[in-house]
Structure 1
Amino acid sequence: MALDGIFLRHIAEEIETVAIGAKVNQVNQPNRDELFISLHTSEGNKRLLISARADSPRVSFTGYSAENPPVPPMFCMLMRKKLCGARLSCVYQHQLERVLFLEFDATNTLGDRTKLTLVVEIMGKHSNCILLDEEGVIIDALKRIDLTLSSKRLVLPQLRFELPPSQGKVSLFDMSAQDIAQRIFEKENMTLDKAMLSVVMGVSPIVCREVAYLATGSTDTHIEDMGVSDKLSYVAEIEKLIRKADCCEGVPVMLRDSSGKPFDLTFSYVEQYGDSAVCKEYESFSELLDDYYHQRDSIERMRVRSRDLLKLVSNHIGRLSRKLSNQIAELEKSKDREHLRIFGDLLQANLYRIEKGAEYVDVENFYDENMALLRIKLDPAKSPAVNAQKYYKDYARAKTADKMLRIQIEKGQQDLLYLESVYDEIERAESERDLSAIRQELIAEGYIKPQKGKQKPPKEPEIREYRTADGFTVLVGRNNRQNDMLTMKLAHKTDLWFHTKDIPGSHTVLKTQGREVTDEAILETAQICAYFSKARESSQVPVDYTLIRYVSKPQGSPPGRVIYTDQHTVYVTPKNPENI
C-alpha cells in the first residue's frame, strides 16, 4: 500500500488547509490502535482518524465512526485532559519521512498557555501516536516501547522524543534530480525501481516502478542496460516527481484490478498496469483513504465469511459425492440379479429331487441352450420350497433396490449440481449481503441449522441490472433463489434467457420489451452471462440462450434448477459488464 512520504505530504496539506485553528471538541479511542479526534473547523465538524494498526496505519479525515468502550482507555483519558479545548496551530512533516507532527495551542491545569505536539508515525507494525510537551518530552504514547520491545529507540513517558532511526536515504528536496539519478545509477547490479527504493526517501514501490516505466517503458529495467536517452528521460521524470511532491500537485487515485477490487492507492495516475488496472480519482486524499480501507476491510470480512461457507458447502459436496459413488456401486451390483430369479425357477421345478437338509443341488439349467448343469447353494435348515422362495425374495429386493437407487442417484446428482452452483456463487459474491442471502438459502434447503430464537432475515440484495450498448436491459441473479425469482416470475415469456452450457452460473435475462433483439445485444448479454459464471476466467465459453417460454422448473427440483429447449449456443469471452 502506497501511503508513502509524498502521499503523507498531500495529507498534511489537506489537514492544514481545512483544520488550522480548529478546536478539539472530543477524543475517542474505540480500540487499542485507533484514535478519533473531533475538530470544529470553519467548514464544520470534522473527525480526524489516527490509526496505528499494522495493516492500515494512516492519518486523515474520516466519515466513519466506531463504537467506543464503556470505559475509555488511559491514553484516551489523558488525550482528553490535555487536548480538549486546544486548537490546531501547525501541521508539518519531517522531510519526506512518514512522520507527521500536529501542534496544538493548549492550556495547562494552571491556566497557562502551552504547546502540545501529537506525532503520528506511519510505519507498518511500528506505527504509533505520541504526545509531546512543549520541550519535546514524551507525555505518553498509544504504544509504549520499552527495552523488551526495542533496544534502539524507547518511547516512554518522561523520555525526550527522538525520530525513528534514519535509513540513510536522500530526500527529493535535498539534491537535484541529476544528483539523485546519479546516486541511483551507481547501483548497476539492480533494477531501476529497486535502486530508487533503496536510495530515495519517501517513495513507495509503486512510485519507483512508475518512474522507471515512464522513463524506459518497463518496470524492471536493469541499470546496466540503460542507454543515454533512457537516463536523460529518467532524470526528467525525477524532476517531475520533485515538483509534484514540493508543490503537492498530486491527485488521490485508487487502483482497482479487472474484477473491481482495490489493490493500491497513490498520489498520481498510474500507467504501468495498462488495461489490467483501473484508476479512480477522488475528491480528497481523506476520501480516498476512507473508501480504500472500507472496501478492503469489507473484502477481508467477506473473505472470512466466504471461507466458512465454502468449507461448509465443500464438506456437503464431499459427503454427497461419496454417497453417490456407493449408490452407483450398489446399482451395478443390483443389475446382476437375474440369476436369483433363475435359481428360484430351477429350484421350484426340481423340488421333488431335492433332499431335505441338502447343502446344494445340481440341476439342469433349462435357460441354457446346452442344458448345462448348475450347482445351487441351499440353506440346509430350510425346506427346498422355502429356499426357492428366498431366491425369489432376494430377486424382488434387488429389483426394488434398482428402482429406488436410480431415483436416489438422480436426486443426488441434482443436489450435487445445486451445491456446486452454490459454491460458485459464494466465490463470486460481491458483498456481505450476497453472502447472507446465500446462507439463508442454505438454511432453507436444510444444509445449515437455523439459529435458535427469532432472527431478523437479512435484506435480499437487488438483482444485478445492466444495459447493453443499444439500450436493452440485462438482469442477472445473485443466488439460486434469485435465479428462480428472475426466471420464473419476473421475466416475460418473450424475454431471452441465458445460461452457460453445463457450467455453474447465474441466470441472465435480456428484456426485449416488445423490441426486436439485435445480434449485438445477444452477444453482450452472453458475455455478461459468462462473466457471472464459473468460467469467468476462461475464453470461448459456450452460452445457451432461448425464449423464457421454453424454460421450466421441474417439480421438487433444487433452487436455480431448470430445464430448457429450443436453445441456440454462442461462444464468447466473458466481459465485466462495467466495461461494456
Structure 2
Amino acid sequence: MDQKRELSSIDLGALVTEFGRYEGAKVDKAYLYDDDLLRLKLRDFDHGRVELMIEVGDIKRAHVADPEHVADAPGRPPNFAKMLRNRLSGADFAGVTQYEFDRILSFEFEREDENTTLVAELFGQGNVAALDETGEVVGSLSTVRLKSRTVAPGAQYEYPASRLNPLDVSLDGFKRHMRESDSDVVRTLATQLNLGGLYAEEVCTRAGVEKETPVGEATDDQLRDLHEALERLGERLRSGDIDPRVYEERLDSSDGGDETDRDPRVVDVTPFPLSENEGLPSVGFDSFNAAVDEYFYRLGREATDAGEAPADASPSRPDFEAEIAKQERIIEQQQGAIEGFEEQAERERERAELVYAHYDLVDEVLSTVRKARENDVSWDEIRETLEAGADQGIAAAEAVVDVDGGNGSVTVALETDAGGEGAGDAGDSGDGGAADTVRVELDASTGVEVNADRLYQEAKRIEGKKEGAQEAIESTRAELAAVKERKAEWEAAEEGDDGAAAEDDEEDETYETDWLSRPSIPIRSPDDWYKRFRWFHTSDGYLVIGGRNADQNEELVKKYMGNHDRFFHTQAHGGPVTLLKAAGPSESADPVDWDDSTLREAAQFAVSYSSDWKDGRGAGDAYMVEPDQVSKTPESGEYIEKGSFVIRGERTYFEDVPCRVAVGVQCEPVTRAIGGPPSAIVDRAATSVTLEPGMYAQNDAAMMVYRELKERFADQSFVRKVASADQLQEFLPSGGSAIVD
C-alpha cells in the first residue's frame, strides 16, 4: 500500500476544529527548512510551547507538532522567514479556517500594529502566502502567475475557483451532479464531487453501493444512500466526533529479512476508522492532530532510514589519477602565468618611459591627429595624410604604424635607445618596426602625460593580478592535496577488503561513483573568480561567461576579454555579452582551434539566457566575432547604451539554436550547482534536470528543480547546502520555464 503523503480536504476539516484550542498563543519566531517546511514557534498559557508545522513540498501537511519531533533550527533565515518574523513576532494566533472544501488553510494572526493572514496551499505545487489586512500579498514562497489566478507580492491574493463541497450539497444537488457523469460511482465521487479516491471508496462501502456501478445504472435509492453516508461523514467532522487512527503495514519477507524482525511502516492517518483500511493494524490517538504529527514524524524517520546505504555497499573508485594530472596541469599553467606577470608589468612601464623619452615626437603626433578631428577630418583622411608625411621623411609621420578610428587610437613605433634612456628590448618589436623599436598604442583624444599615466596604471593592474594568481595556485594546491588524500583513503580501504584482488586493476579502467546513493557526501566548495557572472564549462573544459546586467557586460569586455577569446551575442535585442575564454585571467593564452561542438554550446548559452527565452521562443539565432571586432566607439552622431557594443566586420552565425538549459549538482572534483547547455552539463553533473521556456516563474521553476534533485540523493542535506533553490535560480534564465520530461 502506498504511503499517504498529503492531507485530504476531509483531514484538514478535522484539524481545523482542533486548531481552535491554541487560539491566543503568541508567536515567538518563524523558521523555514528546505524551502518548503515552515515552522512557527508559539507560546500558550495552557499548552506551553506550541510548534505549528506547515509543509508544502512533496509532503503536504499542517499540524501542531510535539517539540520532541521538531528538528533543530536551521541556519541563516531566508528572506521569507525574516519577513514573517517581522510581521508575526508577538502576534496572537486568532484561529484558522478552511477555504470551502479545498486544501487551503488560512491562519489568522493579530497584533496591535498590523494583522496578518497566512494562507497555506496544500495542493499542486504547494505554497504559503502572507497577506496584510487588505488581502494583499506581502510575500510568498512561490510566485504564481496563471490565467486563472495570481499570487505575487503586491497583488491581491486570489483563491482558486470554487469547488463543490460534497459534505454540504443537498440531495437534489447531489443527484444532479452525479447524473451528469458518464463514469462509474466511485470515480464520480472522487473527481467531480472532490472526495478523492480513499474517501470515495469509503462512502461507497458505508452506503452499500458497488463501487464500479455505472452512474447511469444507479437507482435513486442508491444515490440517496450515498448522500446519507456523506451527510453522516460531514456531521462527524462538524461535531468533533472523531476516533483518529494511524494505520500500519508490515513488510513481507520478500522485501528481505524476517518480517517478525522488522518494524511496521505507517501507511495512512485518518480522523476516524475507515472500512477501507479494516485489514490493517492501527494505533488510536486522543486527537487527530496528535495522530497526524505521529504519522508524519514516523514517515520522515522511515524515509531517512531507507536512504542509508547498506553496510556492504561501496561506491566505485573515482579516477583519482586523471584528477591529479588535471590539478598538476593547472598548477603548471598558473606558475607560468605568475612568472609572466612581472615581465608584462615591466613592459608596460617601459612603454610609459618611452612615451616620455620621445615626448616631442609623441606630442606632435597626438596634436596633429587631435586638431584634424576637431576640424572634422575623417580617420581615413588622417591616415592618408600621415602616410604622405612618412613618404616625405617627416619623423612624426614615419613613427605612426596604425590608425584605428573605431578605437580613436594611433599606434607609434618608438626607438628603445632614444634620448640615452637605454630602455632595451621590451619584447614587442618587429611587425612594422625595427628590431630596436616598440609599438605603443595611444589615445588620440588625450595628451602625452595622460597616455603615459595610463600605461603606468596598466603596469600596476598587471602586478595586482599576481597576488590573485598566487591565491589561485594555493587553492589549486589545496585541492590537489585533497584529491591525493582521498586516493590514499580509497587505497587503504581497498587493501583491507577481504575479497579484493591485489594486482588485477587495469590503469585504463573507467570508474564512476554512485553519488546519489551515498549516505554522506563531503562538501568541497570552490572559490572561482567567475561565479558572480553567468558561467559554465563546455564539454571539452573551456570556460564560458556571460553578463547578468549592463554593468557586467561592460566589465566582461573591458576587463576579461582576451585576444584569443570569442565574443557571442544573439540576433534578438536583450542578450548577455558571452565570452568563450581561451584561458583564465591569471593564465597566458594561445590561439585555440575551437571544436564546432564548443562553439555551438557557447551559442546556445547566449541564446538561452537572452530575450528569446523570456519571450517564450523555442529557438534563436546567435553570432560570433573576434575580440578586435568589438568596440565601444559608435559612428559619428550615434549613441551606444551602457552594456552595448559596436560590432564591425564579418560575423559567424548560428541559426535556430534551441533554448534549453540543464541544471544539476556536480560532486567531483568539487561540489556545487551547475547549469548551462544540456550537452555540457548532463555528463558533468551527478544528476540534472533539463528546462525549456514555459509557464513557471523563475523562482517557482527553481523550487521545482530543487525538489526534484533533492529526492534523487540519499544525502538530501548535501543538496540543501550546495544546490538550494536560491543557488539553482542563479542558473535559470529570466522568464518562465518548464521541466522537460
Highest RCO, 1 vs 2 (Cα 8 Å, sep ≥ 6): 2
Q: Normalised by the size of structure 2, how large is the TM-score? A: 0.38
Q: Normalised by the size of structure 1, how large is the TM-score? A: 0.48
